[in-house]
Amino acid sequence: MKILLVEDEAALRSTLIEALRQGGYVVEVAADFAQALEKIKLYHYDCVLLDLTLPDGNGLDLLRVLKADNSPAGVLVISARDALDDRVAGLDLGADDYLAKPFHLSELNARLRAIIRRRRFQGQNHVVFRDLLVWPDQAEVLVRGEALTLTRKEYDLLLYLLANPGRVLTKEAIAEHLCGDSVDATDSFDFIYTHLKNLRKKLQEKGADNYIRTMYGVGYKLSAE
């Protein structure tokens, strides 16, 4: 899957490139408006990660060009401008999602996968991980062909892990993914452990391997090994 990353901050750009390549994406880069415009006119991408504030232009204008060209590429806006009107403007112009900086790379990965899934398979694809099969649109989870019953939070947690296989997910990232901004209110992430414990137990009851690994003091990882 080919991604165009439009980001003017060199340090953030290189980190994003590295993270996206680790996630298995082919990443093309544009550091400014002119480069980005040239690339979206010449090439096709599965998804464009679009920063709004560029040194020589506005990312929203690139979004307009993409929509005017009927580009099939999904657009994920990543911007430090998190004012409500900026979000509304981006989504109104046809962006698939809006992620305010700073963000968890795992959250970016999850949203990116969701956009590509919707775009390429009209949301009808499934996710396979070892002996696990998930149909996101039906919210159905099968372990070795056998249906698994999960709570809403356990299901969200599993999908988040599946969107970031092999990647260490911090407890903060998981908590924010599950509880949104409300997670600011808590000073403890113990509730994640409870959900993880229940999820592991249910998976193992159905005969699944223990592929959710605890990274001591950091978080959790869905291990492919």
Partner 1 sequence: MKLLAATNRYYVLLSLGVFALGSGVLYVGIERAVRNEVGEQLQNHRLEIEARLAAGRPLPEPVYRQQYSVSHQPRPLGFSDTLLLDPTEGSMVPHRQLTFWAAGAGQAPAWVTLRKSMVETDELLLATVSSMLVVLALLLGSVVLLHRYLSQRLWGTFRHTLAALRRYDLQQHQPLSLPTSRIEEFAELNQALTHLSQRLVADYESLREFTANAAHETQTPLAIMQAQLEQLLQLPTLTDDPAAAPLLADLYGATRRLSRLHQALALLSRIENGQFGAAVPLDLAALVREKAEQLAPLLDARGLALHLHLAPTPPAACTLAWPIRCCTTYCTTPFGTTCRVAT
How many whole angstroms separate alpha carbon 198 and alpha carbon 214? 14
Q: Which of 68, 138, 145, 190 binds partner 1 (CB under 8 A)?
A: 190
Find the part of the chain contacting partner 1 (CB under 8 A) among 38-46, 67-75, 123-131, 163-171. 163-171
214 binds partner 1 (CB under 8 A): no
Q: 4 or 143, CB closer to partner 1?
A: 4
Q: Does residue 177 touch partner 1 according to CB under 8 A?
A: no
Q: Which is nearer to partner 1, 66 or 169 (CB)?
A: 169
**Which stretches does DSSP call E strand in the chain?**
2-6, 26-30, 47-50, 53-54, 57-58, 74-79, 97-100, 127-129, 132-135, 140-143, 146-148, 168-170, 212-215, 219-222
Is residue 215 a contact residue for partner 1 (CB under 8 A)? yes
- Residues with Cβ within 8 Å of residue 36, at least 6 apart in sequence: 4, 6, 30, 50, 54, 59, 62
The site that binds partner 1 (CB under 8 A) totals a number of residues, namely 49
Q: Which of 170, 198, 206, 223 is in the footprint of partner 1 by CB under 8 A?
A: 170
CA 156 – CA 142 distance, rounded (Å): 15
Separation CA 81–CA 88 (nearest Å): 11
Q: Which residue has the tokens 């492919």?
A: 224
Q: CB neighbours (10 Å) of residue 90?
A: 23
Tokens for 22, please give them: 């680790």
Q: Does 15 bind partner 1 (CB under 8 A)?
A: yes
Minimum CB distance to partner 1 smaller for 24 or for 217: 217
Indicate whether 103 belongs to the interface with partner 1 (CB under 8 A): yes
Piece of 38-46, 56-64, 66-74, 191-199 that binds partner 1 (CB under 8 A): 191-199
Rounded Cα gap, residues 28 and 140, in angstroms: 34
Binding site for partner 1 (CB under 8 A): 9, 11-12, 15-16, 18-19, 22, 53, 80-84, 100-106, 152-153, 167-168, 170-173, 178-186, 188, 190-192, 194-195, 215-219
